[in-house]
Amino acid sequence: MTPPPSAPAKPPRRQDRPLALVNARIVDPASNRDEPGGVLVDNGIIQEIGARVTRASAPENAEILDCRGQVLAPGLIDMRVQLREPGEEHKETIATASLAAAAGGVTSMVCLPNTEPIIDDVAGVEFIARRARETKRAKIYCYGALTQGLEGKDLVEMALLADSGALGFTDGIKATGDVQVMRRALTYARSFDLLVIQHPEDPRLAAGGAMNNGELSTRLGLPGIPAYAEVMMIERDLHLVRGSGARYHAAHISTAAAVEAIRKAKQEGLRVTCDTAPPYFSLNENEIGDYRTFAKLSPPLRGESDRRAIAAGLADGVIDCIASDHAPHDVESKRVPFAQAEAGIVGLETLLPISLEPHHKGAMSLLAALRCLTARPADILGLPQGRLSKGAPADMVLIDLDRPHKIDVAKFRSKSKNSPYDGRPVQGCVLKTFVDGRLVYSLEGER
């Protein structure tokens, strides 16, 4: 059974002997620490951190890793991933997603409930927990469906699923469109302090749409989804949050209007958080070009003004988190006419380098950029990970912050390769990833 949100999903074994990571640049957004030092790990737990951890101070039997001044940060927490297992293993499996996560520096991820069968009962939650233990790489959690069968009608037994380990409740890639259903969900969730996550897009306004509504969609002859479909759903939900006092999270926001709505809600003191995904601050609708289906997302890529607003929302802290929105699809799902293609891209292995772009461009400090990937999602989800501190799980990533390279989808560990970033020059890469002190990925081992 998956542990409750207060405890990490633990692999069955940890490192065999103490591990001392020395000569590192420790970057811990939870404590605003950015300084030279080291980390001592034993039995999967951080025992000591800071300048006192050196080669000379390490226990005699410790394994020593010289970090050579590279950035040592908490492992990334990806709060929005589609695993495809069970039901669509030809697109992705828990094993291949875990490989991709480790290579991307992701040590904890939370999967959406839109599997086959849907995660709307305890058995579904327990299946994910069992497969995560068998895989022994990234820690894998799940959300429970908000409504039975993701049909938007009858609520699931939210408290029961939460007791079994579900970290929140969402209808995944579908919006909960019925206002009465959402009202009941938020009222129920408030009684147990549960998190409700919305795909904010008015279903009727988005119905049949293939891309952002505007001049480009008209020129391409594609049905458009208006940007206001997003903020209309958010503003409707905020009225319900105001009445219920529940915790509400808007997923993958993509518009300037959504940023402003969330900003005002936070100023009002509502219990509201949100995330975005790398495409919404690094790409715009022009990426679609001549019907490029690898650039079809849900919500769709927006215009340049919205892209800039999302980037600004990250920089000023209105947007809490960056999630990969990992949505693997096979070739057959993408190599079809644009309007018929499935929406979504793979994102686990590009999450870190794309998220570092605002830092390299001077728009965000390193602490601020990494905070969106570590401490903030951990706090929202109630996880003890996402921080480098004594007593915390030793989930860590060693990063070469400045190493330039080009994204190569042919080298992805993910089973699917649907990414618009192929060939994109980026800066920064994962050198090593540790889960509970165990090395689960090393760039050196890839060569």
Q: Within 10 A of 431 (CB to CB), how many other CB atoms are there?
A: 19
347-360: string of b/e by CB count within 10 Å (b at 16+)?
A: bbbbbbbbbbbbbb
The strand pair at 321-322 and 272-276 is best described as parallel
Question: Quick check: is 237 catalytic?
Answer: no
Residues 6+ positions from 373 with CB-CB distance below 8 Å: 76, 77, 78, 321, 322, 351, 352, 355
Q: Around Cβ 97, how many Cβ atoms within 10 Å?
A: 31
Yes or no: say if 171 and 139 are a contact pair by the CB < 8 Å rule.
no
List the beta bridge partners of residue 41: 19, 46
CA pair distance 285, 283, nearest whole angstrom: 7
Output 155-159 pairs: Cβ under 8 A, ≥24 positions apart: 155/181, 155/184, 155/185, 155/188, 156/120, 156/121, 157/121, 158/185, 158/188, 158/189, 158/192, 158/194, 159/192, 159/194
Amino acid of residue 195 = L
| Catalytic residue from among 325, 379, 402, 422 | 325
Bridge partners, residue 36, by sequence: 25
The residues annotated with a catalytic role in the active site are 325
